[in-house]
Amino acid sequence: MKTKFLLGLAGLAIVAIGCVGTVSGKKTAAVPFIKDRIEGRYERPASQVFDAAKEVVRLNGTLLSESTLHGGTNAAGVLALEGKVNQRRVWMSVEQIDPKISAVIVQARTKGGGRDIELCHELEKQIALKLVR
């Protein structure tokens, strides 16, 4: 009886954890339907925001990859990066919204697929501070 209960519980856990899309265009195993990203907008070119985002990830953890996603709302595409900060997986994307405004989206997940919205806020704030200096 206990074995059947544990197998049922394990099956329910597997169903509850699904695949979610990351802001860098990839998929990861995580708990769906929870807010796991923060957006910030700045009056800077996308290249400056992306450089600040890379520096923030390097200062706080490890930069794993960076890429350009084509097919965004602008001709240049979306700049994306992936890193690890505080044993959390972090994804960031930077897009030029209009000639003066760029947007950065910061997404963070734990190893178990849970969110870390506080880390998203902290990294987005650090990016803003890098752009001011």
Percentage above 90 pLDDT, the chain: 47
Q: Which three-class secondary structure string do you get for 43-94?
A: CCCHHHHHHHHHHHHHHHEEEEEEEEECCCCCCCCEEEEEEEECCEEEEEEE
Cβ neighbours for 49, distance < 8 A, ≥ 6 positions apart: 42, 94, 102, 104, 127, 131
Of the listed ranges 35-39, 81-85, 89-93, the one predicted with least confidence: 35-39
Going from N- to C-terminal start, the domains of the chain cover 2-132
What is the dotted CATH code of the domain comprising 2-132?
3.30.160.110
Helix, coil or strand: residue 122: helix
Q: Each residue of 27-47: pLDDT tens digit?
A: 666 666 677 789 999 999 999
Q: Which residue has the tokens 């957006």?
A: 39
Its pTM surpasses 0.85: no
Question: Which pLDDT score, from 0 to 100, does residue 40 have?
Answer: 94
Answer yes or no: are the C-beta atoms of 46 and 127 closer than 8 Å. no
